[in-house]
Amino acid sequence: MPKNHKPDIEKGGKAWLYSDAVKEHFYNPKNVMTDKLLADYKADGVGEVGSPACGDVMRMWIKVDPKTKKVKDCKWKTFGCASAIAATSVLSVMVMERGGMTIERAKKIKPQDIVARLQGLPSVKIHCSVLGDQALRAAIRDYEGRVED
Ligand code: FES
């Protein structure tokens, strides 16, 4: 590597600074779906989306309490980057905390809400937070389709 080499992230004077929350959720992601769990996981809704910006893919599984219509479980798996992992990890926590979010409330989560909980994301990484948000909506649509049948 040449002596004066600067990593791309430093060119233009803008470093990709990740918050402590991003680092925590990237290094210790919550609610990740594993092959073992998936073997007998009875999801009420499953959603999968791809990011037009980068081609990465996110899949999400939810369980919904039939009486309260609250999300009682949320698992996810991604072929995405560190920001996608951190954003979806924190999203899964958001929908399950305090006894679970209602489906109606979960539909209204915006990528900005996720980014706020992460104490920010580098602007070039905002699209990564959209992936989990869209996968959640897709899983909710799948759930609603099953309930209507
Ligand atoms: S670059 Fe593809 S999800 Fe982040």
- Which CATH number fits the domain that encloses residue 78? 3.90.1010.10
Q: Could you tell me if residue 9 is inside a domain?
A: no
Range of the domain at 62: 28-148
Q: Could you tell me if residue 98 is inside a domain?
A: yes
Give the number of other CB atoms < 10 A from CB of residue 108: 9
Distance CA 118, CA 133 (A): 14
Confidence of residue 148 (pLDDT cuts 50, 70, 90): confident
pLDDT at 10: 46
Tell me the one-letter amino acid at 116.
A
pLDDT in tens, 42-63: 999 999 999 888 889 999 999 9
Q: Could you tell me if residue 13 is inside a domain?
A: no
Q: Could you tell me if residue 5 is inside a domain?
A: no
Confidence of residue 114 (pLDDT cuts 50, 70, 90): very high
Ligand 1: centre distance to CA 135 (Å): 14
Q: Could you tell me if residue 87 is inside a domain?
A: yes
* Ligand 1 within 6 A of CB of 131: yes
Q: Which of 16, 115, 128, 130 to mutate to test the pocket of ligand 1 (most atoms within 8 A of CB)?
A: 128
Q: Could you tell me if residue 114 is inside a domain?
A: yes
Q: Could you tell me if residue 74 is inside a domain?
A: yes
pTM of the model: 0.88
Give the bridge partners for 64, in sequence order: 71
Give the C-alpha distances (Å, rounded to integers) separating 60 from 13, 33, 54, 97, 143. 36, 8, 18, 17, 12
Distance CA 49, CA 93 (A): 20
Q: Could you tell me if residue 17 is inside a domain?
A: no
- Per the structure, the count of domains in the chain is 1
